[in-house]
Amino acid sequence: MKKAVVFSAVAIVAGCATAPSTGDLDQQTQAMLKASFRDQGIAKMDRLNQDLAQKACSSENAPPAAVASEIESQAMATVKWPEGGRYIGDWREGQKLAEDGKGMAWNNKSADPAGNGGQCYNCHQLEKSEISYGTVGPSLYHYGKARGVKDVTAPGSAAIVQYTWAKLWNSRVNSACSAMPRFGHMKLLNEDQLRDMMALLLDPKSPVNE
């Protein structure tokens, strides 16, 4: 009986000693992913390539403060400010985008962002009248009103207008591991669409701010 116990203990130790390292597991995972996917339609294999943020935020633990800061700095550097300083579009068009969930699937005919939606209700509440919305992200109802935006062209509104544009362009600018789509940086929406989304969030006449 004692021999059996000793033999089992040795087997367990030997098994632990030969367990694959984290690096080995990462390589095996990458190999499995590449073997499981292929280019199809507009969906290409480059979607498997991770940038610094994706690698750091895929870990079980939050990235160290220095890494998070680097991610946010890199994100801010990607922000393209709107041509001519025109931040605000039509909230009615923004409302349509927020409700639209199409785009970026392999069977879409084009990767042109003009054919994509914002999919905002997957994660957020935007209007009081909505009875179905996601709760992954915070409620955006009264987004502009709660921040005191009464006139988007007023100098006092400049800071929140620019903050909102940067957040829509690349959500990681102030939250390294944000799960929000990086609409501008990843070319999910074009500038005109982003202006319309800005209007939905900030225009006092938008249903978001009623």
For residue range 121-164, list pLDDT tens digits in order: 999 999 999 888 999 999 999 999 999 999 998 989 999 999 99
> Is residue 53, in this structure, part of any structural domain at all?
no
Q: Is the pLDDT of residue 209 over 60?
A: yes
pLDDT tens digits, one per residue of 4-42? 544 455 445 455 557 788 788 878 877 887 788 888 887
Rounded Cα–Cα distance for residues 15 and 64 (Å)? 32
- Cα-to-chain-centroid distance, residue 193: 17
| Structural domain for 5, as ranges | 1-36
* Cα Rg, the chain, nearest whole Å: 23
One-letter amino acid of 173: V
> Is residue 154, in this structure, part of any structural domain at all?
yes
82 with 25, same domain? no
| 152 DSSP 8-state letter | T
- pLDDT class for 70, splitting at 50, 70, 90? very high
Rounded Cα–Cα distance for residues 187 and 80 (Å)? 11
Among 42-51, 119-128, 197-206, which is the least confidently predicted range? 42-51
23 with 83, same domain? no
**Length of the chain in terms of residues written:** 210
- H helices within the chain, ranges in order? 2-17, 22-36, 52-57, 65-78, 91-99, 143-146, 158-169, 191-202
| 150 DSSP 8-state letter | S
8 with 103, same domain? no
Domain count, the chain: 2
> Is residue 68, in this structure, part of any structural domain at all?
no
> Is residue 118, in this structure, part of any structural domain at all?
yes
Rounded Cα–Cα distance for residues 164 and 197 (Å)? 10
